[in-house]
Amino acid sequence: MGMYIRSLILIVLMAISSIAIAQDIYEVSTGSISFNSKAPQELINASSPQLKGVVDARKKTFVFKINVASFQGFNSPLQQEHFNENYMETNKFPEASYAGKIIEDVNLLVDGTYDVRVKGKLKIHGLEQERIINSRIVVKNGKISIASDFIVSLADYSIKIPRVVYDKLAPDINVTIAATLLPKH
């Protein structure tokens, strides 16, 4: 009897979650993230096409992730090495992530262009900060496009800059993301 009820609950749960998956969950198909540092002495650009993530269009929640070591660009291989080893410590903290909710009362199940604020925990260098980020979401033909740019202050994430590179590394880094999401099958 107990077994029977448990199976029933499981089946119902699966059914509900499969309904949700079928209709509401979008997954990044192509996603890129890039950043630049505009210091008086040096301009640094890097980007990665490996942005991953999912959006629950009904619940208006999301998770995005990036493998930090996948950033390419920089002005020299040495700079990239410093980025990975000294500043981001990618061995210790391989991933950066942003998970949260969409504040604005929008319906992502309907086609349109929405300027929204998203709020969540931005985790970089192993530290989490509550962040509100402005984003533009375009829903069209069953496809969701997200574009956003925001600033990351190195001090907020306890990323220490040696004094000698004060002029070469900006304390605030501009970050841009662009992603296209498709329904998850």
Partner 1 sequence: MRKLILLLLLFFSLPAMAQQPFVRDLWLNESNTSVKVNEMLEDPSGYIWLGTDIGLFRFNGHRFMPVPDSIEKPVTALAYGNGTVYVGYSNGALGAVSENVVKQVTIKSARPSTTINSIYTDRSKIVWLCTEEGIFTVINNIGLPINSSNGLSDNFVYQMAVLPNKRIVAATDIGINEIALEQNKLRIESLTDANGLPDNIVRIIRNVPERKWYWLGMQQKGVAFYCPDQKLVWQPQFSQPWVWGQVNDVLPVEKDRAWACTEEGYLLELTVRDSTHIDIKPMHLGDKKPKKLVRGRSGILWVATNHGISVVSDEYMAYIPMGAPYKLSEIRAMVGDKNNYVWFSENNRLYRLNLNATLKQPEKMSVLPKDITCLYADNEMRVWIGTLGQGIWYRDPNGALTHVTELPGLANESILDIAGTDDRLWISGLNGVVELSYPSTYTKQMTLLRKHSRDGGIGSDYVYQIFPDRKGRIWMATDGAGVRMYDEGRYKKWDSSNGFNSKVVYSITQDGFGNIWVVSLYNGLYRYDGNRWQQISREHGLEDVNISTIAANATGQVIAVHAKGIDAWYPFSNQFRNYNKRQGFNIDSNSAVLKLAAKDTAGNVYIPYEQGWIIFKNVRHQFDIRPVVRMSSVSVYFKQMPAGKKDFDYDQNHISFQFDGISFANPERLRYRYKLEGYNDSWITTNDESVTFPQLTTGTYKFRVQGSLNNTFSRFGEASYSFTIAKPFWARVWFIMLVGAAILGAAYMFITTRERNLRKVSSLQRERMVFEYEHLKSQVNPHFLFNSLNTLANLIDENSDAAIDYTVRLSDLYRNMLSYRDKDLILLAEEWEILENYLYIQKSRFGDALQLQVTMSEGIKHSKKIVPLALQLLVENAIKHNIVSKAKPLTIKIVATDNSITIGNPIQPKLSKEKGAGLGLMNIRKRYSLLSKKQIYFGAINNEFVVKLPLI
Residues that bind partner 1 (CB under 8 A): 103-105, 117, 119, 130, 132, 153, 155-156, 171
CA distances from 140 to 72, 99, 110, 144, 180 (A): 31, 23, 8, 7, 11
Give the residue with the Cβ less far from partner 1, 6 or 166.
Answer: 166
Residue 132 Cβ, how far from partner 1 at the closest point, in Å? 6
Record the tokens describing residue 168, joined without a space.
């070469």
Round to whole Å and give the CA distance between 99 and 8. Answer: 32
CB of 80 to partner 1, least distance (A): 27
Of 43 and 132, which CB lies nearer to partner 1 in the complex structure?
132
Which residue, 9 or 103, has its beta carbon nearer to partner 1? 103
Least distance in angstroms from the C-beta of 158 to partner 1:
9
Which stretches does DSSP call E strand in the chain?
25-38, 43-48, 52-56, 61-67, 72-73, 95-102, 112-124, 127-140, 143-153, 172-183
Q: 85 vs 172, which CB is nearer to partner 1?
A: 172
Question: Measured from the CB of residue 182, what is the shortest distance to partner 1 in angstroms?
Answer: 28
Q: How far apart are CA 76 and CA 169, in angstroms?
A: 14
Nearer to partner 1, 25 or 154 (CB): 154
In the chain, the amino acid numbered 172 is D
CB of 137 to partner 1, least distance (A): 17
